[in-house]
């Protein structure tokens, strides 16, 4: 039997990474099994499911290269099928009409008089007592089908064999299993994935940091890195691999290695992983992406290729996310923009001015290359009685304006002697404490 799974999002205008991880697990499951990955747009809420919201969703899927195998189903096209199913349930006595309070009659599904039970591929048998399950509305008084009915009728139409979704749907599944049976269909198999949570164990949201696929795309994360990170957030290949190609993930994926406990979002880990992907990019591709970021900065638009290339060569292995590129300004401007906090921390201490002044003189005595620069700094430290290595930070802040960057000696060699000396001088005259 060919396994058929689906991603069935309700478009809202932004795509949460938790939802995207559900899509990724479905996709990996289908690709691993040689099955079909289908897309159903649950767009019955016409107010939220605008054409733009649907486009945002499709764009997120395409960006992550989650390709689907058949024409997407749009739930809003299926009104007749939903109404017809409700009629059948009414005719069979599995549903009845009721006026829930003067608003007109709705259609209510009659929950069978027995415990609701289903097998979850991750959690085992899940059961709910009959007395805890109430009948529920499947068609509103205005004729609109309720989520439960539309979801099940469409899963039947799409011949879905496995419903893999978030565990916020477990309560729904008790009802859905009964609906499948009442409609004469065998329920699919189910797996409910635990949520993505924050450090406090609460559902991870926008308040905890970037939470939507679009945020990561804008910040310059790579889709392959985000895919890799989300796939391994709550699933493990059974060994300690953390960076995996798509082919490796497809090969290794299985539901029994999806963890049955909430997965904690770790932005730092994602950023680190992204850096590994960035480091591997072909140099031209890296440069083109860096250019795209620079094109959005007034100061970065007209940087000649000859100036950009060596900076890219130096910075690629240190670039974690493409938004880091906006920090490269100090390579190109005459003077850096000084970060106040870095200045206070790096240049505020006693003795720094004297040491930097001495360094300017020492730089004249050695070749201006990495080794020569290092020698000059070590000598300036010794003469000023500063512990070895401690002057580097002051030099970095004086010459780049910020606290982080690539290796200091390489950075200065690339900046060139004129810029380096002019900035050190500026620091001794205006910035040292």
Work out whether strand 263-264 and strand 196-197 pair parallel, antiparallel, or are unpaired: parallel
Strand partners, 190: 120, 163
Q: Which of 11, 21, 42, 167 binds ligand GLU (CB under 6 A)?
A: 42
Euclidean distance between CA atoms 343 and 287, whole angstroms: 30
The least CB distance from residue 158 to ligand GLU, in Å, is 11
Strand partners, 203: 197
Does the protein bind ligand GLU through residue 11 (CB under 6 A)? no
SS (H, E, C) 83-99: HHHHHHHHHCCCEEEEE
Closest CB to ligand GLU among 156 and 308? Answer: 156
Closest CB to ligand GLU among 22 and 362? Answer: 22
The least CB distance from residue 408 to ligand GLU, in Å, is 50
Contact track, ligand GLU, 103-142, x by CB under 6 A? ----------------------------------------
Residues in contact with ligand GLU, counted by CB under 6 A, come to a total of 7
* Joined tokens for residue 90: 């009414």
Euclidean distance between CA atoms 308 and 326, whole angstroms: 13
The least CB distance from residue 232 to ligand GLU, in Å, is 21
CA atoms within 13 A on the CB side of 10: 9
Closest CB to ligand GLU among 8 and 225? Answer: 8
The least CB distance from residue 23 to ligand GLU, in Å, is 10
The least CB distance from residue 20 to ligand GLU, in Å, is 11
Q: Which helix (H) or strand (E) holds 427?
A: none
Does the protein bind ligand GLU through residue 8 (CB under 6 A)? yes
Closest CB to ligand GLU among 151 and 316? Answer: 151
Work out whether strand 136-139 and strand 105-109 pair parallel, antiparallel, or are unpaired: antiparallel
Euclidean distance between CA atoms 20 and 7, whole angstroms: 9
Closest CB to ligand GLU among 75 and 228? Answer: 75
Which residue is catalytic, options 100, 202, 206, 341?
A: 206
| Residue whose pair of structure tokens reads 């440069």 in the numeric block | 287
Closest CB to ligand GLU among 204 and 277? Answer: 204
Q: Is 19 exposed, middle or buried (0-12, 13-18, 19+ CB in 10 A)?
A: buried
Site for ligand GLU in 141-180 (CB under 6 A): 151, 165, 169
Which one of the spans 7-15, 296-304, 306-314, 380-388 is the region binding ligand GLU (CB under 6 A)?
7-15
Euclidean distance between CA atoms 278 and 317, whole angstroms: 7
Does the protein bind ligand GLU through residue 10 (CB under 6 A)? yes
Which one of the spans 4-12, 134-142, 195-203, 288-296 is the region binding ligand GLU (CB under 6 A)?
4-12
401: alpha, beta or left, given left = phi > 0 and alpha = psi -120 to 50?
Answer: left
Taken in order 50, 55, 61, 63, is the CA torsion positive or negative? negative
Closest CB to ligand GLU among 6 and 222? Answer: 6
The least CB distance from residue 61 to ligand GLU, in Å, is 13
CA 390 to chain centre: 38
* Joined tokens for residue 362: 């020492």
Strand partners, 7: 39
Q: Is 206 in the active site?
A: yes
Which one of the spans 6-14, 85-93, 132-140, 240-248 is the region binding ligand GLU (CB under 6 A)?
6-14
The least CB distance from residue 26 to ligand GLU, in Å, is 9
Strand partners, 106: 98
Residues that bind ligand GLU (CB under 6 A): 8-10, 42, 151, 165, 169
Active-site residue set: 206
């Amino acid at each position: 039997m060919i396994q058929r799974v689906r991603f069935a999002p309700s478009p809202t205008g932004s795509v949460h990474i938790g939802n995207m991880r559900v899509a990724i697990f479905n996709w990996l499951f289908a690709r691993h099994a040689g099955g079909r990955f289908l897309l159903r747009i649950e767009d019955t809420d016409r107010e939220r499911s605008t054409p733009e919201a649907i486009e945002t969703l499709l764009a997120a899927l395409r960006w992550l290269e989650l390709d689907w195998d058949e024409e997407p189903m749009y739930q809003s096209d299926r009104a007749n099928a939903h109404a017809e199913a409700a009629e059948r349930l009414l005719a069979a006595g599995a549903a009845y009409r009721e006026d829930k309070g003067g608003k007109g009659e709705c259609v209510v599904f009659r929950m069978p008089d027995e415990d609701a039970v289903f097998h979850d591929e991750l959690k085992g048998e899940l059961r709910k007592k009959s007395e805890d399950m109430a009948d529920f509305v499947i068609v509103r008084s205005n004729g609109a089908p309720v989520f439960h009915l539309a979801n099940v009728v469409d899963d039947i139409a799409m011949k879905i064999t496995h419903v893999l979704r978030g565990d916020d749907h477990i309560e729904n599944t008790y009802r859905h299993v009964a609906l499948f049976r009442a409609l004469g269909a065998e329920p699919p198999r189910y797996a409910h994935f635990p949520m993505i949570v924050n450090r406090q164990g609460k559902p991870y949201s926008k308040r905890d940091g970037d939470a939507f696929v679009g945020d990561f795309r804008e910040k310059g994360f790579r889709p392959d890195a985000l895919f890799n990170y989300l796939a391994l957030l709550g699933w493990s290949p059974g060994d300690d691999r953390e960076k995996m190609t798509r082919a490796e993930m497809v090969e290794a994926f299985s539901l029994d290695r999806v963890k049955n406990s909430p997965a904690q979002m770790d932005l730092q880990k994602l950023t680190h992983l992204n850096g590994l992907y960035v480091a591997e990019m072909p140099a031209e591709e890296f440069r083109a992406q860096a250019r795209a970021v620079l094109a959005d900065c007034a100061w970065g638009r007209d940087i000649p290729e000859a100036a950009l290339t060596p900076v890219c060569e130096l910075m690629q292995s240190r670039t974690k996310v493409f938004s880091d590129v906006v920090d490269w300004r100090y390579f190109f401007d005459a003077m850096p923009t000084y970060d106040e906090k870095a200045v206070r921390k790096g240049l505020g201490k006693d003795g720094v001015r004297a040491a930097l002044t001495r360094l300017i003189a020492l730089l004249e005595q050695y070749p201006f290359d990495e080794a020569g620069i290092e020698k000059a700094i070590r000598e300036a430290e010794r003469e000023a009685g500063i512990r070895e290595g401690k002057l580097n930070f002051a030099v970095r802040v004086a010459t780049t304006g910020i606290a982080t960057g690539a290796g200091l000696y390489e950075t200065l060699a690339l900046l060139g002697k004129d810029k380096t000396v002019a900035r050190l001088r500026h620091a001794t005259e205006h910035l040292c404490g």
